[in-house]
Amino acid sequence: MNFSSDFDPRDGVRLLRPQFEELAAPRAAGAVALYRLWQEVKPPDGLPPRSAFSFDRIAELGLLGQFFVIEPLDGGEDWQYRLVGSQLRWLFGRDATGRPFKEHYDAANAAERIALSNRAARSGRPIFLFARFLYRGRPGEYETLSLPVRSRDEQEVWLVGASFPGDHQLRDSDL
């Protein structure tokens, strides 16, 4: 799916510039719940393990459909979706599991997401984002968060997170 701002929005999602607004803290109920879990399992001097975010734990929060896991490729030159919840198809228009960002997004969107992912992974600090978009000519919004975790082999930092559609439709004047 093309995320470029240079195509007819009736053909799919088009994120608006600026694509993301950084938030100081999560706002959506699911984002707050996932962040609380991350805080609970995070050791004082380090990152929580990926294993702390099992399907059972995520299901208890009611977030399996919105949950994702991404991993760096080539030392952070790219990232790929290792796992994408089934309810995120509304955002991507297809299953993005196993797709590197540079193949899934256009060049500008991939670069922005790679930079944000690297920042979260290198700093060990979560990122909370809000985005507005057009889908088939209709405005919408979503909130997403990325939380750094240790990979299963403890050799890399991966990100776990979730994305949530907004609670209301945007007005054209919001764009």
118-130 per-position pLDDT tens digit: 999 999 999 999 9
Q: Please give the model's pTM, rounded to 2 decimal places.
A: 0.83
Confidence (pLDDT) at 14:
53
Is 60 in contact with 37 (CB distance < 8 Å)?
no
Q: Mark the ranges of the chain whose per-residue pLDDT is less than 50.
A: 1-12, 168, 170-175
Of 27, 19, 32, 38, the closest CA to residue 124 belongs to: 38
Amino acid at 171: R
Residue by residue, what is the 3-state secondary structure of 18-76?
EEEEEECCCCCHHHHHHHHHHHHHCCCCCCCEHHHHCHHHHHHCCCCCCEEEEEEEHHH
Provide the CATH topology of domain 9-42+64-166: Beta-Lactamase (3.30.450)
Confidence (pLDDT) at 106:
81
d(CA 37, CA 58): 9
Confidence (pLDDT) at 151:
95
